[in-house]
Amino acid sequence: MKKLLILSLLFVITCQFSAHAQWLEKKGNGYFKLSAWTLEADRHYTNSGAIDPNATRGTFNLNLYGKYGLSDKWGIIAYIPFYVKTYQNHQVSIVTDEKLSEGEAHSSFGDMDLGVEYRLFKASKHAFSVALSLGVPSGDKEGGSDGSYQTGDGEFNQNIRFNAGTAFAIFKHPFYAKSYLGFNNRTAGFSDEIRFGIEAGTNFFNKKLFFLLRSNTVRSMRNGSLSAANSDGSIFANNVEFVSLGWEASFKLNPSLGVSIGYESAFSGKVIYAAPSYSAGVFFLLK
């Protein structure tokens, strides 16, 4: 169960790659962000969707996210978690306050996502694009004394995604909305996945403060060979499913530099932590 939970947590991290994406950048323009992301939980969703307790486990990562416009139609995207720490707190008796087991931690480089995006067409206030991202197994698929403190899942995946977005106004105030639908082809015995999400946002104070709401959903196709107990004794996060809801706020300090904070949590799921994640970062706009 430990490996299953940690890898499901890492799956949430990689979902940030598509959740963070904004409009396709113009040629020579870019968006670059340095972020910290953290999650800690003492409960998880089981295979049936019920919530059970677990020893307090968590993760913390430092990551770089970037988008750059190669042309007016092509752009590149990268998500690089250059430091990932997975840990478990000490377990203490609630009766005697005696330490029952020692805590543990493992840290390393995490799994990267590298991708390209192509603008299909743009008409008036509507935009459509397709993106392909490659999940690179650059983290540790085993870590710690029992191998359950992973910073990566050890599999190479390919995620293709169709994006659609529009801009509109309500009482003359500007808003935007966008959605995506994707298919994630996973290897090494993991099940393939269908992913989709929606996002809407607006700005205030002469475009200095931005606020958005988003929801992401993942559904497993349950066509993998891995299970909670496989032939080599390892337990992996296969058949993860969830529906999450979150928000992000960012403030531009000047035309090129800004800061952001975010929150996201799964309000239903299977084989995933039942706790929110938090993020904070600094971003740079290249114009």
pLDDT, residue 1, reads 57
- Please give the distance of CA 63 from its chain centroid, rounded to a whole number: 11
Residue 129 three-state SS? strand
- Check residue 231 and give its pLDDT: 31
pLDDT of residue 275: 92
Token pair of 132, please?
A: 């392909």
Write down the H helix ranges in the chain.
Answer: 2-19
pLDDT tens for the 287 residues of the chain, in order: 555 555 555 555 555 554 444 568 889 999 999 999 999 999 988 888 999 998 888 999 999 999 999 998 999 999 999 999 999 988 876 767 777 778 899 999 999 999 999 999 888 889 999 999 999 999 998 888 888 888 888 899 999 999 999 999 999 999 999 999 999 999 999 999 999 999 999 999 999 999 999 999 999 999 998 865 433 333 457 888 999 999 999 999 999 999 999 999 999 998 888 999 999 999 999 99
Dist. CA 23–CA 253, nearest whole Å: 21
Q: Under 8 Å CB-to-CB from 251, ≥6 apart: which residues?
A: 208, 209, 210, 258, 259, 260
Which residues lie across from 83 on neighbouring strands?
A: 62
pLDDT of residue 103: 87
DSSP letter for 47, please: T
* 3-class secondary-structure state, position 24: coil
For residue 169, the model assigns a pLDDT of 94
Radius of gyration of the chain (CA): 20
Asked if residue 167 lies in contact with residue 125, where contact means CB atoms within 8 angstroms, the answer is yes
Which token pair is 20? 């963070």
| Number of helices followed by number of strands (H, E) in the chain | 1, 16
Helix (H, G, I), strand (E, B) or coil at 73: coil
Residue with structure tokens 């709401």? 213
Distance CA 10, CA 139 (A): 10
Spatial distance between the Cα atoms of 268 and 44, rounded to a whole number of angstroms: 10
CA–CA gap between residue 175 and residue 193 (Å, rounded): 30
Q: What pLDDT does residue 263 have?
A: 97
Q: Which domains, and CATH codes, for the chain? A: 2-89+100-286 (2.40.160.40)
Look at residue 232 in the predicted model and tell me its pLDDT: 32
DSSP collapsed to 3 states, 216-244: EEEEECCCCCCCCCCCCCCCCCCCCEEEE
3-state secondary structure of 71: coil
